[in-house]
């Protein structure tokens, strides 16, 4: 079988958390999932910089798909994100101290861009392994949305598809389970 490349990203800890389950889960993924060879990168929780590093990695590995993973501490289900919006609005500073208030990500970009991977199928695949999942229509306005929107904008019209999955705290869903769930979502892509 011809091998495809998947770039998977997780985040560093931020706010009051000392670990980030997104990276803990991404770390636990096997090197090969279905048709994909997995390349992984740890990203800083910094507006602009997270996307810049992800785009730099993508320019090196030429992925067929990019799946970004982040923590949504207030959620209890796994939530693939349907859409990225063109705004930065932070309630806490990012890890570089930046706290934008309603700024556009890209002054020339559309208000929103839909994910280019089959997020509905991902929700079904996660639910099928017995873990609560729900399609989300808001990735927030913090660094996760910044990353999703920026990647969708950058790879718009190219063969590289992009999606984002928010996962809950490890106390709600253990990171081993989240890793298993990510595999199921990737196999459904
Ligand atoms: N979650 C944050 C940024 C990093 C992360 O893991 C968010 O939802 O924007």
Question: pLDDT tens across 6-36, in order?
Answer: 999 999 999 999 999 999 999 999 999 999 9
Q: Is 187 among the residues known to form the active site?
A: no
User: For residue 4, what pLDDT is reported?
Assistant: 97
Q: Is 166 among the residues known to form the active site?
A: yes
Q: What is the DSSP letter of 177?
A: H
Q: What's 77-93 look like in SS3?
A: CEEEECEEECCEECCCC
Tell me how far apart the alpha carbons of residues 66 and 76 are, in angstroms, rounded to a whole number. 24
Report which protein residue has its CA nearest ligand 1's atom 7. Answer: 144
CA 3 to ligand 1 center in whole angstroms: 30
- With a Cβ cut-off of 6 Å, ligand 1 is lined by 11, 14, 20, 22, 45, 70-72, 140, 142-144
Average pLDDT over residues 35-43: 97
Tens-place pLDDT, residues 97-129:
999 999 999 999 999 999 999 999 999 999 999
Partner residues linked to 32 by β-bridges: 37
Average pLDDT, the chain: 97
Work out the percent of the chain whose per-residue pLDDT is above 90.
98
Work out the percent of the chain whose per-residue pLDDT is above 70.
99
User: For residue 166, what pLDDT is reported?
Assistant: 98
Report which protein residue has its CA nearest ligand 1's atom 1. Answer: 71
User: For residue 1, what pLDDT is reported?
Assistant: 57
Per the residue annotation, which of 62, 81, 124, 187 is the catalytic one?
81
């Amino acid at each position: 079988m011809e091998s495809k490349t998947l770039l998977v990203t997780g985040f560093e800890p931020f706010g009051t958390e000392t670990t980030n389950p997104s990276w803990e889960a991404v770390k636990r993924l096997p090197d090969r999932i279905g048709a994909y060879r997995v390349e992984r990168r740890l990203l800083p929780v910094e507006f602009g910089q997270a996307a810049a590093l992800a785009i730099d990695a993508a320019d090196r590995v030429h992925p067929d798909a990019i799946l970004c993973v982040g923590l949504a501490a207030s959620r209890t289900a796994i939530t693939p994100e349907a859409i990225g919006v063109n705004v930065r609005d932070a309630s806490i500073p990012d890890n570089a101290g930046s706290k934008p208030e309603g700024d556009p990500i890209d002054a020339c970009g559309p208000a929103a861009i839909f994910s280019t991977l089959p997020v509905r199928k991902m929700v079904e695949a996660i639910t099928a392994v017995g873990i609560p999942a729900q399609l989300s229509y808001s990735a927030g306005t913090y660094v996760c949305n910044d990353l999703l929107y920026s990647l969708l904008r950058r790879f718009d019209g190219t063969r590289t598809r992009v999606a984002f999955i928010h996962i809950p705290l490890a106390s709600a869903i253990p990171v081993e389970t989240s890793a298993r769930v990510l595999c199921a979502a990737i196999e459904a892509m």
